[in-house]
């Protein structure tokens, strides 16, 4: 039957939509274009330093023992940096495992030809786990009910799902099973006996970034994991034991065990004691206009700032829709020409105003001049501590949103 072009277009759209439903949260690019030429003209953009990313991983590889492997955590679209953009580096550096949250992240990794372990670092819903079978994800489980659901899915499709069992030894009370009591112990053993499931690892996650806390909880994990191996008659040689997040990887070497799970560390979001791990993301925009305003002028919605002097203000074409939250109202600072320009007035949905009066006294400020929102310019830097202090939240609370809201380009 011959169909009209409109009908074909509708059917194609429906097919794409249906195929995409199981991969949502959100849909990600595959083999995208991250060239400077195509994206530096956007209203705001993220500049990703791939060399710094590779240097961070190589530095970590060189600090670990030969029998400790890396599972690079790439959830939240590689912490906003773009899993599609960074997978070639993961493959190039022979990283044997990546940690993901969504099926989309797994799809992108496999589309790049990644043959290593893809480990989900949170519990999946039943529908999500079923949709992920084609990607060979190593699932995470920490309750008998959840494991039984995974087992039923695997049996339904005649497959075996590999999984890591999460223990609550790290104190998160989130994904892990508590084996302090008899009930939890019975459930943990029962999980290892379920059909069509294969346990390939035991893990925990630390609730606090404190050396003494980590060591205390590590001792508990070591005790509980050894108990489970013996009680469930598991083959230790076929299990990967792991507890170390970025903090523990840096600060508590004895927590490395068989594998470490660095997240923020490989993106340069780390503790001050380890400056060798370089931030790989910069957030930038450009000047849209520069205008003169006399003293007494109020700036922005609700007139929250009144100019105390004759001033030159730069109009910047980004705002809270791009991830620059209203927390930066009258508090934020950007870099223009290597100098600091304070945010004046409320951050708008698509516009932010900054004071460039003192900069213009030293050098011109023009349309299209580069503006650094987060990162370095010349000898100046707007870094993690400053952003976190203003936003009153972890930097990850922002850069994961920046990654969803702005195009990325590879630093030239």
Q: What is the pLDDT along the chain (412 residues), one digit of tens a residue?
A: 445 544 444 444 444 444 444 444 567 888 888 888 777 789 999 999 999 999 999 999 999 999 999 999 999 999 999 999 999 999 999 999 999 999 999 999 999 999 999 999 999 999 999 999 999 999 999 999 999 999 999 999 999 999 999 999 999 989 999 999 999 999 999 999 999 999 999 999 999 999 999 999 999 999 999 999 999 999 999 999 999 999 999 999 999 999 999 999 999 998 766 778 999 999 999 999 999 999 999 999 999 999 999 999 999 999 999 999 999 999 999 999 999 999 999 999 999 999 999 999 999 999 999 999 999 999 999 999 999 999 999 999 999 999 999 999 999 9
Q: Which residues are catalytic?
A: 75, 301
174 is in an annotated binding site: yes
281 is in an annotated binding site: no
Q: What is the pLDDT of residue 273?
A: 61
CA distance 243 to 262: 10
Q: How far is CA 99 from CA 17, 75, 106, 129, 289, in A?
A: 26, 6, 9, 15, 43
CATH 3.20.20.10 fits 50-267, yes or no: yes
| Architecture of the domain delimited by 281-410 | Beta Barrel (2.40)
Q: What is the pLDDT of residue 102?
A: 98
**Where does 125-205 have alpha helices with state H?**
126-131, 144-157, 182-192
Q: What is the pLDDT of residue 26?
A: 65
- Phi and psi torsions of 229, nearest 5°: -60, -45
Q: What is the pLDDT of residue 38?
A: 72
Q: What is the CB neighbour count within 10 angstroms for residue 307?
A: 18
CA distance 47 to 208: 31
For the chain, residues classed under CATH 3.20.20.10 are 50-267
CA angle 375–379–385, rounded 5-degree value: 45
For the chain, residues classed under CATH 2.40.37.10 are 281-410
Q: What is the pLDDT of residue 248?
A: 97
């Amino acid at each position: 039957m011959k169909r009209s072009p409109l009908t074909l277009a509708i059917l194609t759209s429906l097919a794409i939509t249906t195929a995409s439903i199981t991969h949502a949260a959100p849909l990600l690019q595959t083999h995208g274009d991250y060239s400077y030429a195509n994206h530096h003209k956007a209203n705001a953009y993220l500049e990703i330093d791939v060399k710094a990313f590779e240097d961070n991983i190589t530095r970590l590889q060189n600090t670990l023992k030969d029998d400790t492997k890396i599972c690079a955590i790439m959830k939240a679209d590689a912490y906003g940096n773009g899993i599609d953009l960074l997978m070639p580096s993961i493959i190039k550096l022979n990283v044997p495992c990546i940690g993901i949250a969504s099926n989309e992240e797994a799809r992108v990794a496999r589309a790049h030809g990644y043959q290593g372990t893809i480990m989900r670092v949170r519990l999946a819903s039943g529908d999500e786990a079923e949709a992920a079978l084609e990607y060979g994800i190593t699932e995470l489980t920490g309750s008998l009910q959840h494991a039984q659901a995974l087992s039923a899915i695997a049996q339904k499709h005649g497959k075996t799902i590999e999984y890591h069992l999460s223990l609550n030894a790290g104190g998160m009370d989130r994904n892990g099973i508590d084996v302090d009591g008899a009930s939890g112990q019975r459930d943990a053993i029962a999980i290892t006996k379920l059909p069509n499931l294969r346990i390939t690892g035991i893990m925990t996650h630390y609730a606090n970034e404190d050396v003494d806390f980590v060591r205390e909880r590590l001792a508990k994990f070591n005790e509980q994991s050894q108990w489970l191996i013996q009680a469930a008659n598991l083959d230790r040689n076929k299990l990967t034991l792991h507890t170390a997040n970025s903090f523990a990887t840096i600060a508590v070497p004895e927590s490395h065990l068989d594998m470490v799970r660095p997240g923020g560390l490989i993106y340069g979001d780390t503790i001050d004691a380890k400056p060798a791990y370089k931030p790989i993301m910069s957030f930038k925009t450009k000047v849209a206009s520069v205008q003169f305003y006399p003293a007494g002028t109020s700036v922005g919605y609700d007139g929250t700032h009144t100019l105390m002097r004759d001033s030159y203000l730069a109009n910047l074409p980004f705002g809270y829709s791009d991830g620059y939250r209203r927390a930066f109202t009258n508090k934020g600072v950007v870099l223009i020409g290597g100098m600091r320009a304070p945010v004046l007035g409320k951050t708008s949905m698509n516009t932010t105003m900054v004071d460039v009066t003192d900069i213009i006294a030293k050098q011109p400020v023009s349309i299209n001049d580069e503006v650094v929102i987060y990162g370095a310019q010349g000898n100046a830097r707007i870094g993690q501590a400053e952003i976190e202090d203003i936003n009153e939240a972890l930097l990850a609370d922002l850069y994961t949103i920046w990654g969803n809201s702005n195009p990325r380009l590879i630093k030239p």
